[in-house]
């Protein structure tokens, strides 16, 4: 039997794996712990004999052989070497880990397969989340797969159309809140225990267990640990998850070093970057966060303490980028490399560009940017301003003239 438990990251109190809790009694964040020392038979060779997806690394996941797991074949996403984009950034050895290739088009699926598997094991009667959009889409799909009732709550004014469409189509009950994501999460959190529903936001430590596999995959694909791993930061779960993955690989002897974690936020929603940059003791929430990258339009990230540990322990970096920089990076990813990402995902690339320009990232080292979500999720006309299509009448001469002039441009 694998020894698995939940532990507070602050006071280190422990709880049984089957206790439903989203925070320690002391108020600290919980993480899932696996007795890594007791695991045997872990090797890259063994992993590589299996299919390339989240479950390839089964020993490092908190389940037993024979447990029934819920899957839509998540993970196993491409790692693209990007020379043209690298040149634009000034980076020599630059890669994109393209999480937009997951079943619902974002990295959330890595965590949701584990979260929903856990929900089934616990026998909960329903699941819920607050979401800027992607968590809702992912939870909706996995609860459909597992046949568990699902309620999601999203901010009405800012949720991206594609994500809302996904959640509805997968059969979730969708609530649109006239308010922010932070308000949505605080409200849903207050009612879940009362009504007996299981919360699957990233405050739920089981989600993080699935999301940590991105670190395993990057190392597996690259054949080494990169020097830097950059990703967009919203509710601060994913940077902590990836860091947990890198640390665990080192503990079990799969690797002998770790990368520096690089967290990027948008200027209008940057409480975590401000916390790190200003060396604050505690997070100062942003009351009215605002950015075109609606996925990370978050003013009060609940996992900030885990993310802070990730940046500190990894000797990491943070940066904030403007909406204009995000849009530019999104266009560059698409037009230079054919990689279609949503604005939040492009923030990681915009941030790396800035950090290279400032001399904070060594451009000669290997850099991996995690692009967290697919371009198709957010068909916002603002994003293609100045690139609008040419509207024409069905006239042969007109079409011929336009074709000729476009080719000669």
Interacting residues with ligand F0G between 98 and 137 (CB under 6 A): 106, 131-135
CB 64, min distance to ligand F0G, A:
27
Select the residue interacting with ligand F0G from 164, 172, 225, 236 (CB under 6 A): 236
User: Cα separation of 143 and 158, whole Å?
Assistant: 24
74 binds ligand F0G (CB under 6 A): no
Q: Build a one-symbol-per-residue string for 363-382: x at contacts with ligand F0G by CB under 6 A, - elsewhere.
A: ---------xx---------
Residue of 338, 342, 75 lying closest to 212 (CA atoms) = 75
Is the CB of 119 or the CB of 241 nearer to ligand F0G? 241
166 binds ligand F0G (CB under 6 A): no
Is the CB of 84 or the CB of 284 nearer to ligand F0G? 284
Is the CB of 36 or the CB of 136 nearer to ligand F0G? 136
User: Cα separation of 266 and 327, whole Å?
Assistant: 11
178-209 as b/e: b if 16+ CB within 10 A = eebbbbbbeebbeebeeeebbbbbbbbbbbbb
Is the CB of 86 or the CB of 100 nearer to ligand F0G? 100
Is the CB of 254 or the CB of 348 nearer to ligand F0G? 348
Q: What is the DSSP string of 332-400?
A: HHHHHH---B-HHHHHHHHHHHHHHHTT-S-TTSEEEEEE-BBGGG---GGGGTT-PPPP--S-HHHHH
202 binds ligand F0G (CB under 6 A): yes
User: Cα separation of 289 and 297, whole Å?
Assistant: 6
Count of residues that bind ligand F0G according to CB under 6 A:
21
Helix axes 323-337, 343-357, angle to 10 degrees: 100
How is residue 226 written in tokens? 């990169």
Q: What is the DSSP string of 283-314?
A: ----SS---S-GGG--SS-TTHHHHHHHHHHT
Q: Build a one-symbol-per-residue string for 379-398: x at contacts with ligand F0G by CB under 6 A, - elsewhere.
A: --------------------
Q: Build a one-symbol-per-residue string for 258-297: x at contacts with ligand F0G by CB under 6 A, - elsewhere.
A: -------------------------------------xx-
Select the residue interacting with ligand F0G from 104, 238, 255, 260 (CB under 6 A): 238
Binding site for ligand F0G (CB under 6 A): 106, 131-135, 202, 232-238, 295-296, 342, 344-345, 372-373
């Amino acid at each position: 039997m694998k020894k698995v438990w939940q532990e507070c990251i602050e006071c280190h109190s422990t709880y049984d794996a089957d206790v439903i809790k989203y925070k320690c009694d002391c108020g600290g964040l919980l993480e899932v712990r696996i007795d890594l020392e007791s695991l045997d038979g872990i090797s890259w060779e063994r992993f590589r004999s299996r299919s390339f997806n989240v479950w390839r690394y089964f020993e490092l996941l908190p389940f037993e052989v024979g447990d029934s797991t819920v899957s839509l074949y998540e993970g196993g996403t491409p790692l693209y070497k990007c020379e043209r984009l690298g040149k634009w950034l000034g980076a020599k050895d630059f890669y994109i880990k393209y999480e937009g290739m997951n079943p619902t088009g974002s990295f959330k699926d890595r965590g949701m397969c584990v979260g929903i598997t856990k929900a089934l094991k616990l026998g909960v009667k329903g699941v819920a989340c607050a979401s800027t959009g992607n968590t809702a889409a992912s939870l909706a799909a996995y609860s459909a797969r597992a046949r568990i009732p699902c309620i999601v709550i999203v901010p009405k004014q800012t949720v991206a159309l594609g994500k809302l469409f996904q959640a509805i189509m997968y059969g979730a009950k969708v609530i649109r809140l006239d308010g922010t994501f932070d308000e949505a999460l605080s409200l849903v959190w207050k009612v879940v225990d009362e009504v007996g529903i299981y919360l699957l936001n990233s405050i739920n430590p089981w989600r993080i267990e699935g999301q940590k596999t991105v670190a395993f995959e990057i190392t597996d694909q690259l054949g080494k640990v990169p020097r830097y791993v950059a990703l967009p930061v919203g509710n601060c779960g994913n940077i902590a998850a990836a860091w947990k993955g890198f640390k665990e690989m080192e503990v079990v002897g799969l690797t002998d070093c770790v990368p520096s974690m690089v967290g990027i936020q948008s200027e209008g929603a940057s409480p975590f970057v401000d916390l790190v940059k200003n060396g604050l003791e505690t997070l100062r929430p942003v009351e009215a966060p605002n950015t075109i990258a609606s996925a990370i339009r978050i003013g009060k990230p609940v996992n900030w303490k885990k993310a802070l540990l990730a940046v500190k322990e990894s000797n990491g970096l943070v940066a904030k980028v403007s909406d204009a920089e995000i849009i530019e990076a999104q266009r560059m990813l698409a037009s230079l490399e054919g990689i279609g990402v949503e604005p939040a995902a492009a923030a990681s690339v915009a941030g790396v560009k800035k950090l290279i320009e400032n001399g904070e990232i060594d451009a000669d080292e290997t850099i991996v940017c995690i692009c967290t979500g697919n371009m198709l999720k957010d068909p916002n006309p603002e994003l293609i301003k100045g690139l609008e299509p040419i509207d024409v009448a069905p006239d042969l001469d007109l079409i011929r003239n336009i074709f000729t002039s476009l080719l000669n441009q």
